[in-house]
Amino acid sequence: MESLLTPSAAHAGCPKNMEYGPCGGVGFDGSCEVGDFRCVFLDDPLVTWHGVVPPEPDVVPRSSGAAEMMVLMKSRPIVVADFPARAMDAESLAECAALLAGPVDATLAGDHGTARVQFSPSYRASLIRAAGLQVWTGINCRDRNRVAIEGELVGLAHVGVAGVHCVTGDHTLLGSRPDAAAVFDLDSPQVAALARAAGHLVSVGESPTTPPVELRAARLLEKTRAGADVCFVNHCGGVDAVGRFVRESHDLGVTARFIPCVPMVTDHASARLLESFPSLVLPESYLDRILSAADPREEGIRAAVELSLELLEIDGVAGVNLSGGAGHGREAEFAIVLAETAQRLAL
């Protein structure tokens, strides 16, 4: 694949070498996730997309997996679930995939948040597909340069994944391998452009409550100009916040579909893991309601179903992402919870 991108014009001072910043790791006080200083993008105008315009479908047709998922999304809302399997554990991966297959339309399988060494995206996706579950694969820019990313995109199209989720990614200083050099050759809009040119259904994330709040909808518009079809809305506080962000985006001309994240909590371990997510904002009293219940597992599923149904009433929301994870050794148990939640939604 010949690259469609020119060398990045990285913003001076950004630890991730981003051109189309800021990322979703900005603190609520405007601080950078990597160090004790202000995000360098916050005092500058929004960086508009000036790369390649996404190709027309008749020029670059969608991959088989993308085409199937687009048909499904037109017929009904979808349920996407985070993938709780252990990193580099093929047995755990196959077990979790088998448990999720059926009730869940696709699993959002990105690189593990803390275990920096793991299977490559295309190999992981092939293992999940072999277990009978469709995959929405995450690609980050932390560990791969543009050549490696382009190779993964070709492999993922061959595997037939439902979608590719493009993220800039956490810095290596925040994970288990601070000794590893961070790559950040590209950032998420640039990967979105490459993924769209490779025929994928392309998604990106946005954090409506993360500074600069007033530019988050406009930044999403630029990501769609790069090639994004779908926006996963990060945890931002519930129905009102998601609805406000979707309306703001529509007012600017965004035509992408929205899939908001729904927090999955069934015990103190899953609550702690969820709270480790950057820029997390949960609905008021959400955790207290679950953790104080006589049966936190049942209450967690009930709360997720209720919130999902409310979110699906928002015009432009095409599905939900059951979002969260489990403590070590409880991955299969959490996969069962995700599957049961999806079954109760019965979309």
Give the pLDDT of the chain (347 residues) as one tens digit per residue.
455 676 667 788 999 999 999 998 899 999 998 888 999 999 999 999 999 888 777 678 999 999 999 999 999 999 999 999 998 899 999 999 999 999 999 999 987 656 667 899 999 999 999 999 999 999 999 889 999 999 999 999 999 999 999 999 888 877 777 888 889 999 999 999 999 999 999 999 999 999 999 999 999 999 999 999 999 999 999 999 999 999 999 999 999 999 999 999 999 989 988 888 878 899 999 999 999 999 999 999 999 999 999 999 999 999 999 999 888 899 999 999 999 999 999 86
* Pairwise CA distance, residues 149 & 139, whole Å: 8
In a domain, residue 280? The reply is yes
Domain range for 133: 64-345
Element (H, E) at 232: strand 230-233
How many domains would you assign to the chain? 1
In a domain, residue 313? The reply is yes
CATH code: domain of residue 273: 3.20.20.220
Identify the pLDDT of residue 263. 97
Tell me the CA distances in angstroms from 47 to 44, 78, 196, 218, 276, one per residue in order. 8, 32, 20, 10, 29
Tell me the CA distances in angstroms from 222 to 106, 184, 215, one per residue in order. 26, 19, 11
3-state SS, residue 192: helix
In a domain, residue 116? The reply is yes
Residue (of 214, 198, 248, 255) closest to 231 by Cα position: 255
Tell me the CA distances in angstroms from 259 to 87, 151, 319, one per residue in order. 25, 27, 5
In a domain, residue 335? The reply is yes
Residue 321 pairs in a beta bridge with 80, 261
Identify the pLDDT of residue 1. 46
Residue type, 175: G
- The residues, any chain, with a CB within 8 Å of residue 102's CB and separated by 6 or more, are 132, 339
State both tokens at 99. 């448990």
In a domain, residue 263? The reply is yes
In a domain, residue 127? The reply is yes
State both tokens at 174. 């925040």
- The residues, any chain, with a CB within 8 Å of residue 286's CB and separated by 6 or more, are 238, 263, 265, 303
Residue (of 104, 89, 154) closest to 134 by Cα position: 104
In a domain, residue 302? The reply is yes
Identify the pLDDT of residue 346. 83
Residue 89 CB neighbour total at 10 angstroms: 15
Identify the pLDDT of residue 275. 84
In 50-201, the DSSP E strands lie at 78-82, 106-109, 135-140, 163-167
Tell me the CA distances in angstroms from 73 to 77, 106, 199, 317, 340, one per residue in order. 6, 12, 17, 10, 21
Identify the pLDDT of residue 7. 61
In a domain, residue 196? The reply is yes
